[in-house]
Amino acid sequence: MYRVLITDPLSDQGIEKLTQAPDVEVILNTSLSKEELLEEISQADALLVRSQTKVTAEVIQAGKNLKAIGRAGVGVDNIDIPAATSRGIIVVNAPDGNTISTAEHTFAMMISLARNIPQGYRSTVQGKWDRKSYVGVELNKKTLGIIGLGRIGTELSKRARVFNMNVLAYDPYLTEERAHKIGVTKATLDEAIAQSDFITVHTPLTKETHHLISTEAFNQMKPGVRLINCARGGIIDEAALLQAIQDGKVAGAALDVFETEPPGEHPLFSLPQVIATPHLGASTREAQENVAIDVSEEILHILRDQPFKNAVNLPSIPAELQEKLRPYQILAEKLGLFAIQTADGALDEVTITYSGELADWDTAPLTRITLKGALSHYLSDVNYINAPHLAKERGVRVTEQKISKAQGFTNLFTVTVKTNTGEHQVAGTLLNGLGPRILKIDQYSVDILPTGHQLLIHHHDRPGAIGRVGTILGNHDVNIATMQVGRKDIGGQAIMMLTVDKAVPEELLKDLEKLDEIQSVTAIDL
């Protein structure tokens, strides 16, 4: 008999999935103190929560029999994922259950913004009959820019097209083929920002997307543009948005999420052009039922040792295979992450080539890890389980190749990424006593430890180039830890690969690009 502890309020339909299972005992208590939680968790095989319960390392450590933790929703910020992974506990969420709910809420916010519905309602119930002040705009024939075309963005695009809107979509993994299939126009981020009448964001919040919509972006927009954010607070720079509305550049904004929640007396709320809701994107009966049912089914599958799909940490693999592959796991993820950062454009294909002894092993887990590394540069919710699904969803082809010879090494691990702008390749191996190493970047041979902050510089091989690069880094107080130089011919094309002691500021990259001999500069974070 499996014991499942539920400590947050869940939909009855989700709980029924567990209570009706003959091999499950459900313990439901949503008002446990910390001490009571630690006591109850010690006897539980699985824990089911929403956002109220904080599943800390202490709680996980107390769960002596714990095999799974389920989050009835998408975000897992309240769960210590590394602590769970180190204990071999699978953490699952329910990423699909609120897709329709959030897409519908976004569309409702867009219509309300276009037609001034909240403002008109407020005026009317105050006894006024002011029709002139709330003249709106139609959605018909307007251009909607969707930033992030995942599940929710795709559903939103379907609704927008029914309203005869022209949809521009930006997503780093969107291909022309998938865009055509969905019925949207593939655009760059700058094109979507500059050409849209309405802009809605549907990306995760990562360091790349934090303040993605900034003052610079507002300067590119059409006068009278309207913005919607039902994704994550922080994607839109709220201070920049405030200024853009006050300056008359932005006609209005509809916000369901904020950088700090609850937002309190936010300056944006003083503007009549702003409408807001308290993070209601997933707040429908259907969504709450769906996430509860989805995560309950996942918990049952894990407890019964059946296939499951929505794990957010590394799944178990056979001990013998794990022992063989463990030394290569770090290399796999780093090569995927390195390769994607060298590429521009929408990702079309990832090819992973295993050479030498690796060709004789079951390398499927390494392929998942490599793909997770490649996708994690843009997606915060990617993991070793859902990486293939997310790649397929975005039209990214994934190919494994195996070659018996390894070009002078016992094993060689090569990752090739193809985008709509070209192809890039990175290869690495494990060196005895030294650990993972990157040995090749495109056609250049190197020897690099794949960790930390790095700079990849393509340049012309001219005297003094290295010194000028070093001077600029010094001027920006950035210290060089290691440097590798690769070239084919004297005076021809070459690369510099620098490991530096801290994240590279944008100003430094711009200064390097001003040098005559520099062709391109790419900051890589591993």
- Find the distance separating the first CA and the last CA of the chain, reported in whole Å: 44
Backbone angles phi and psi of 349, in degrees to 5: -155, 145
Residue 406, SS3 per DSSP = coil
CA–CA dist 272, 118 (Å, integer): 10
CA–CA dist 266, 260 (Å, integer): 10
Question: Of 232, 377, 458, 459, which one is the catalytic site residue?
Answer: 232
Strand partners, 226: 198, 252
Query: Would you call 232 a catalytic residue per the annotation?
Result: yes
CA 174 to chain centre: 14
Q: Are 184 and 169 in contact (CB under 8 A)?
A: yes
**Dihedral sign computed on CA atoms, order 290, 293, 296, 301:** negative
- CA distance to 133, 193, 222, 227, per residue, from 160 (Å): 26, 17, 19, 15
Question: Angle CA(167)–CA(169)–CA(174) in degrees, nearest 5?
Answer: 140
What DSSP string describes 212-258? -B-HHHHHHSPTTEEEEE-S-TTSB-HHHHHHHHHTTSEEEEEES--
CA–CA dist 161, 184 (Å, integer): 8
Residues 6+ apart with CB under 8 A from 213: 147, 193, 199, 201, 227, 235, 236, 237, 240, 241
Taking alpha carbons only, the member of 90, 75, 53 closest to residue 301 is 90
- Find out whether the peptide bond into 262 is cis, omega within 30 degrees of 0: yes
Question: Angle CA(249)–CA(250)–CA(256) in degrees, nearest 5?
Answer: 160
CA–CA dist 9, 54 (Å, integer): 14
Q: How big is the chain, counted in residues?
A: 526
Residues 6+ apart with CB under 8 A from 127: none
Question: Of 266, 279, 437, 460, which one is the catalytic site residue?
Answer: 279
Question: Of 138, 261, 286, 423, which one is the catalytic site residue?
Answer: 261
Structure tokens at 16: 């029924």
Structure tokens at 441: 């970047």
Query: Would you call 261 a catalytic residue per the annotation?
Result: yes
- H-type alpha helices, 8-98: 12-19, 34-41, 57-62, 81-86
| Lookup result for tokens 């070209």 | 422
Taking alpha carbons only, the member of 108, 111, 109 closest to residue 136 is 111
Structure tokens at 216: 């610079």
Question: Does residue 207 come out as left (phi exceeding 0), alpha (psi in the -120 to 50 range) or beta?
Answer: alpha
Q: Which residues are the active-site residues? A: 232, 261, 279
